[in-house]
Amino acid sequence: MRSLSFILLFLVWGVCGVQGATVFRICAFNIQSFGEGKASKTKVMHTIIIARCDVSLLQEVRDHRRKAFPQLLAQLNKYDSAHEYDAVQSERLGRSDTYQEQYVFVYSKQSLVNRDVCFSVFLPLTACSALKDFVLIPLHTSPNNTTKELDAVVDVFNDIRKKWKTENVIFLGDFNADCGYLAKKNRKNVRLITDPAFIWLINDKNDTTVRKSTDCAYDRIVVHGEKVARAIVPLSAKPFNFKKEFRLSEDQALEVSDHYPVEVLLKASASRQQQVSLSLLLILLALTFNCS
């Protein structure tokens, strides 16, 4: 038996209708070893991809002195003066002292309204979309253990369903769910794939990598729950090809990341005039599973 530890950030929110709202965009972006070195590159910092998202999950934030990410957030707020952005960060996580990263949720305060509370890991929020409540589960699997980690995510889901009485979940992040990291012969051993209740919105044909020499769907968005499925804008889940959008060369794009962000749109509320604040929770939680 092998002990497999997951440190997962759960983002739960209620939503409301807001005048003028059309869609609610959720993104996940492996920003590839983002630290002070990358933050010092002006052209990289000016490629503010996450400004298009209401909520964006960032992975591979490796900012051990906690200087690089504040620069990114400041640049984002300077770039988009019409919105104010804030973020919630996990602790530095990793399987060894030599590799640690943070999960970071960046959000527009116009979509998510932050109010202070007495305990730091609980954060009431509001948001605006047709979906009344759901859970975001970020995941960045180890390339060396993708099959077992993807399968164990279902244990995380079952724990959430039991404790929080919810079926509405969106899994997102760099799953490493393709090419050499997830062999086709192993997919039958992954419940997240074999259970039809989990709907994979980013399919195997979506290349989420920047390099022309690769064609792999590493980054994924997976949903569970009828309400979530109904709230998704049809065919909106896709990689965002920032290389093409910003007319970058491959080398220029690779300075930003070797991954494209993936995104999905949620429908706006049917009653845009209605404004209802709901109590939400942001919970940092460590879960440990035993996997054979």
Distance CA 16, CA 226 (A): 19
Please confirm, yes or no, whether 140 is among the known catalytic residues. Answer: yes
CB atoms within 10 A of CB 255: 16
CB atoms within 10 A of CB 159: 13
Nearest one of 45, 8, 100, 55 to 261, comparing CA atoms: 55
Which listed residue (60, 140, 149, 259) is catalytic? 140
From its phi and psi, is residue 165 left (phi > 0), alpha (psi between -120 and 50) or beta?
left
Q: Are residues 136 and 172 in contact, defined by beta-carbon separation less than 8 angstroms?
A: yes
Please confirm, yes or no, whether 226 is among the known catalytic residues. Answer: no
Which listed residue (60, 101, 149, 263) is catalytic? 101
Q: DSSP 3-state assignment of 251?
A: helix
Distance CA 35, CA 197 (A): 38
Active site residues: 101, 140
